[in-house]
Amino acid sequence: MYKNSDRFLTSFNRIEKMLRDLLINKKDASFSKAVKILKNSNALIKQYSDDLLEFAELRNAIVHNKIDMTYAIAEPHDEIVEKIETIEKELSAPKYVIPTFQKYVYCFQNTDELSKPLKVIHEKKLSKFPIYEGKTYQGLLTQKGITNWLASMEQREEQLKSSYQIKDVLPFENEENSRFIAEDTAIYEAVDLFKEHTSKGRRLEALLITKHGNPSERLLGIITAWDILEIS
């Protein structure tokens, strides 16, 4: 039966090797230094950087205070061991946006009547729709954009007609409310994209997933701000 210190050190050493493999330069950097370097370019390491730095301190306490090969003064708690092993698994096999967020995405042409997405909003309780002109992406239609459009109609005292098309509403959307990403994007990279937009005062409504992140490719899935709240 392995002791907690043995399990912890085994997992720590495996993570340390992964960090060194990720470093392009400074492969002789310490564990803590490697974490501080890599968190600027790796979303998963950034997510767990505080934990990893604490693990480095605990590792030093175990190794430097070991009396002999069979006894360590510092024995990590079960939850610490479980946590480092979980992080090790995530680093060795990170989760990607596909298949996690693979789903059918309701799309429309900009010449479609507005009644079509409104019907989906009512029946499916969905509120974000990629809009195309042929195969060219035009923007993301949302409930907020529709509300802005309705408010402008009210101000102009115009009467609503059943023949309004999506292209009449799309100008009322924020042009930067969506972004395309590749199917092999790590989930925490997707989380970072939402956080990055928020920090700049811009709301990202959805990430649209295609094979290579090209807007002209077939949509494989969609990630909304609500999805991100469930993971982060």
Residue 134 has pLDDT above 90, yes or no: yes
When pLDDT is averaged across residues 151-160 and rounded to a whole number, the result is 76
When pLDDT is averaged across residues 40-69 and rounded to a whole number, the result is 86
- Domains, the chain: 4-90 (no CATH), 100-231 (3.10.580.10)
pLDDT tens-digit readout, 58-73: 998 888 766 555 555 6
Q: What does the alpha-carbon distance between residue 109 and residue 105 come to, in Å, rounded to a whole number?
A: 13
Q: Sign of the C-alpha dihedral, residues 157, 122, 223, 217? A: negative
pLDDT tens-digit readout, 135-148: 999 999 999 999 99
* Sequence letter at residue 228: I
Q: Sign of the C-alpha dihedral, residues 152, 158, 160, 165? A: negative
What is the pLDDT, as a whole number, of residue 178? Answer: 97
pLDDT tens-digit readout, 1-13: 678 988 999 999 9
Pairing of β 178-182 and β 66-68: unpaired
Give the pLDDT band of residue 225 (cuts 50, 70, 90): confident
Q: Which residues pair with 153 in a beta bridge?
A: none
Residue 198 has pLDDT above 60, yes or no: yes
What is the pLDDT, as a whole number, of residue 228? Answer: 81
Cα angle value 134/140/142 (rounded, 5°): 130
- CB-based contacts of 177, cutoff 8 Å, min separation 6: 139, 140, 142, 203, 204, 205, 206
